[in-house]
Amino acid sequence: QCFRALCCKGPPPARPEYDLVCIGLTGSGKTSLLSKLCSESPDNVVSTTGFSIKAVPFQNAILNIKELGGADNIRKYWSRYYQGSQGVIFVLDSASSEDDLETARNELHSALQHPQLCTLPFLILANHQDKPAARSVQEVKKYFELEPLARGKRWILQPCSLDDMEALKDSFSQLINLLEEKDHEAVRM
Is 25 annotated as contributing to ligand binding? yes
> Cα(189)–Cα(138) distance, rounded to whole angstroms?
36
Is 28 annotated as contributing to ligand binding? yes
> Cα(87)–Cα(134) distance, rounded to whole angstroms?
26
Is 119 annotated as contributing to ligand binding? no
Asked if residue 90 lies in contact with residue 103, where contact means CB atoms within 8 angstroms, the answer is no
Is 103 annotated as contributing to ligand binding? no
H or E element, residue 125: strand 122-127
Is 10 annotated as contributing to ligand binding? no
Is 29 annotated as contributing to ligand binding? yes
Is 131 annotated as contributing to ligand binding? no
The values of phi and psi at residue 11, to 5°, are: -70, 155
Is 48 annotated as contributing to ligand binding? yes
Is 27 annotated as contributing to ligand binding? yes
Asked if residue 81 lies in contact with residue 51, where contact means CB atoms within 8 angstroms, the answer is yes
Is 152 annotated as contributing to ligand binding? no
Detail the residues annotated as belonging to a binding site for GTP.
Answer: 24-31, 70, 127-130
Task: Report the binding-site residues for Mg(2+).
Answer: 31, 48
Residues that constitute the known binding site: 24-31, 48, 70, 127-130
